Each structure stands twice: as C-alpha cells, then as structure tokens.
C-alpha cells in the first residue's frame, strides 16, 4: 500500500501542469516540395529568367518556403510570388539565404513563382522546398453554457464601441517546432505587437511569422484578406516565460494605419464584464462579449497570482488575444483555454494580468525595441 501511494504521488508531482503544457495552436500541415531551378533552367533572355506554378485547392491558405544557394558576385534578382485568388509578394534573393524564407499567406489556388532580374543569374540555385497548408480548424473550446456566443467583429449585433477596439488585433501565422501554428496578437506601439511567449519567441517562429491586420468579414459579409507584416528579427523579441508574454517588433509601422491599444495599470474588478477580440483557429476576426466576464482574480498562471480566470469563449489560435474592460483598456493577455471533457488542473480560461505585463515592460532590458511601449 505504501509503495502504491508513493508511485501515485510521484506521478502527480511529475505530471506537467497546464502552464507547462501551453502550446500554440497547430493549424494545418507542411509538405515537402522538390521544385529546383539552376543555370540550366534559366531562360536565355530576361527579365523573367524562370517561372513555375503549383496548384492547391480545397484549403484556406498556403505559404511557400524558398532557399537559395548562390556564388559571390550574383547579380541582383527577385523572387516574385502571386496567387490567382489574391496575394502578391516579392523577395530579394540576397535576403533569402540558405535558411530560407516563408512567403506570406496566399489563398489556395494556383500560385505562380518567378525569378526576375536585369541580368541573367550566375551560379544561382533556387529551391521551392516546402509548402505550408492551412486548414479550417476553428472549433471553439470553452463555450460557456454549451453555446458558442462569439460573433464576427462586424456582425450587426456587435456594438460600435466594441468594433472600434478591433483594428490593432492581428492574426499570427508562423512555424514553431516544425509545425504550422496560429495565434493572435495586438499592437502596443506603431511597430510592436504583444502576444504569448508560447507563440512567437524564438528564431524559427520569428523568421516564419506574419501578422495579418484586417483579416475579417465586413458588414456585407465579404472577406478582406488584410495587410501582412513580418517579424523584424529574433534578436529584438523581448519575452517572459513566467508571464507567457512576448513583445515582437514588426518590419513596418503597422500602428500608423491600425492604431494601438492602451494597457491598463489596474486589474478588472470581480465579475466585471470583458471583451475578448481574437482569431480563433486562425479564422477571420471574432469577438466574445456575451457572458464574457471575470470569474476570479488573481489566480495562478505560470507565476503565482499572475492571471485572471474568465468566461469568454475562445479556441486554439486565440492565444495572445487582448482582453478589454468596459472602458476599452486591455486588462489581460489571454493564454489558456480548455476543451469540453478535458481533464486539467485548470478548468477555466486564463489570461495574464496586464498590470504584471506593464511592470515587466518597464523593467530595463537590452533587447527591448527602441519604439516599444513607454
């Protein structure tokens, strides 16, 4: 009996907590491609030296991964990518390198890849070696009361005061641990977003990340694909494991167009109403405000008393979403949800209190972006 009890205690002590198991939502799959172009494949005259196409239907979005090998003295060249259903991107070959680059999101369909330049490439080898295929995976987790009460952000039932908060919220698409993933993030300065550490906080996730602003249905139910920004460099990501927070610098001033949120210094009161704006499952922007409120605060997260428990409907991909109070200030950073029937130590949604994040952002840090929050 004593031995059995000891084994049981060992299992309980060594079992990972929900805080340790936090992981960004897996959104689709990555397949290997073998599209390669070299000297023998290039045309005799330019400026289009090589062109190829591939087709993928029946999915939501795709992304392509390029890598290059080139000799010194390579003339300037550009890889252009264009989808027949929308999306156009270009990348300087000199910026791609052997580690490669992921394109932005393209609606599934036929995709045209071109190599362009004023001079014929010399000694260049271009490989389209992977394709990321996103799937429709927006099943909600914690549907409080068993009913999904989220709405698309421009649904007529959403109050204008809530819609006005949504522009700085972005959908994040990235690769981490070799898997395609999605999260949510939001602008806290012109060129920096706040999201979860378990989403974007390492070199792999930064190199592959795009933040899509304005990905939403409009008032006439037409889908806008929005505008995409990239992570500037992993070296300027500031992250905290304990707070599950990451401050990510973008490659452009997105806030000039989409604005930014205000972080609250004070925590929301018990039972206070909340608003959570998100991209659940990588879907177009949605909002939870019906039966969305504080359940308990503070509660333990990765750090003691760092979180608030809330009743807002969420899903995988909602990680990193802002939680607003009735005054439109961000009072928490959502980072944990649960599925129906899931047995966990946490049985409610969790978000990191903005007051703790504010204190962390004010601490000196050599990696903090020059234009981060004050």
Domain boundaries, the chain: 26-133, 137-374
Taking 90 as the threshold, does the pLDDT of residue 65 lie above it?
Answer: yes
232: number of Cβ within 10 Å: 18
pLDDT bin (cut points 50, 70, 90) of residue 146 is: low
Task: Tell me, yes or no, if the two domains 26-133 and 137-374 fold the same way.
Answer: no
The bridge status of strand 179-189 relative to strand 192-195 is antiparallel
Taking 80 as the threshold, does the pLDDT of residue 150 lie above it?
Answer: yes
253-287 burial, b at 16+ Cβ within 10 Å, e below that, comes to ebbeebebbebbeebbeeeeebbbbbbbbbbbbbb
How far is 280 from 293, CA to CA, in rounded Å? 18
Give the pLDDT mean for 291-312.
95
Say which CATH architecture domain 26-133 belongs to.
Sandwich (2.60)
Taking 90 as the threshold, does the pLDDT of residue 221 lie above it?
Answer: no
pLDDT bin (cut points 50, 70, 90) of residue 344 is: low
Instruction: Specify the higher pLDDT residue, 365 or 288.
Output: 288
Looking at domain 137-374, does it have CATH number 2.40.10.120?
A: yes
Give the pLDDT mean for 10-30.
67
Q: Residue 86: CA atoms inside 13 Å, Cβ hemisphere, count? A: 12
Cβ 374 vs Cβ 56: under 8 Å:
no
Give per-residue pLDDT as tens, 266-276.
999 999 999 99
Instruction: Specify the higher pLDDT residue, 58 or 260.
Output: 260
**Chain mean pLDDT for the chain:** 88
How far is 230 from 249, CA to CA, in rounded Å? 9
Least confident range of 84-98, 256-270, 298-312: 84-98
Give per-residue pLDDT as tens, 324-339.
999 999 999 999 887 6
pLDDT at 341: 54
Give the pLDDT mean for 30-57.
94
pLDDT at 12: 39
How far is 330 from 53, CA to CA, in rounded Å? 44
Q: Residue 90: CA atoms inside 13 Å, Cβ hemisphere, count? A: 9
Nearest to 287 by CA among 242, 263, 323: 323
């Amino acid at each position: 009996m004593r031995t059995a009890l000891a084994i049981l205690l060992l299992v309980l002590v060594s079992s990972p907590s929900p805080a340790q198991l936090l992981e960004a939502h897996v959104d689709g799959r990555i397949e290997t491609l073998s599209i390669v172009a070299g000297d023998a494949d290039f045309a005799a005259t330019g400026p289009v030296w090589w062109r190829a196409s591939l087709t993928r239907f029946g999915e939501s979005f795709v992304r392509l991964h390029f890598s290059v090998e080139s000799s010194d003295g390579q003339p300037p060249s550009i890889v252009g990518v264009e989808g027949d259903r929308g999306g156009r991107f270009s990348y300087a070959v000199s910026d791609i390198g052997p580690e490669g680059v992921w394109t932005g999101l393209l609606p599934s369909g036929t995709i045209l890849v071109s190599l362009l330049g004023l001079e014929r490439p010399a000694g260049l080898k271009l490989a389209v070696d992977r394709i990321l295929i996103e799937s429709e995976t927006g099943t909600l987790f914690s549907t409080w009361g068993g009913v999904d009460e989220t709405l698309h952000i421009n649904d007529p039932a959403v109050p204008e005061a809530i819609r006005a908060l949504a522009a700085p919220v972005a959908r994040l698409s990235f690769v981490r641990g070799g898997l395609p993933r999605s999260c949510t993030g939001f602008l806290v300065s012109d060129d920096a977003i706040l999201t979860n550490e378990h989403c974007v906080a390492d070199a792999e996730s930064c190199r592959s990340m795009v933040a899509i602003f304005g990905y939403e249905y409009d008032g006439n139910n037409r889908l806008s694909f929005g505008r995409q920004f990239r992570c500037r460099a992993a070296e300027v990501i500031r992250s905290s494991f304990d707070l599950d927070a990451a401050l990510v610098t973008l490659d452009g001033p997105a806030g000039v167009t989409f604005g930014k949120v205000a972080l609250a210094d004070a925590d929301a009161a018990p039972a206070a109403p909340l608003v959570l704006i998100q991209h659940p499952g990588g879907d177009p922007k949605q909002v939870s405000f019906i039966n969305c409120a504080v359940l308990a605060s503070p509660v333990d997260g990765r750090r003691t008393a760092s979180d608030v428990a809330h009743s807002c409907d969420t899903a995988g991909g909602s990680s990193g979403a802002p939680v607003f109070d009735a005054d439109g200030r961000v009072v928490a950073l959502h980072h944990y949800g649960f599925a129906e029937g899931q047995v966990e130590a946490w049985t409610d949604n969790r978000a990191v209190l903005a007051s703790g994040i504010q204190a962390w952002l004010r601490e000196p840090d050599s990696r903090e972006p020059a234009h981060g929050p004050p």
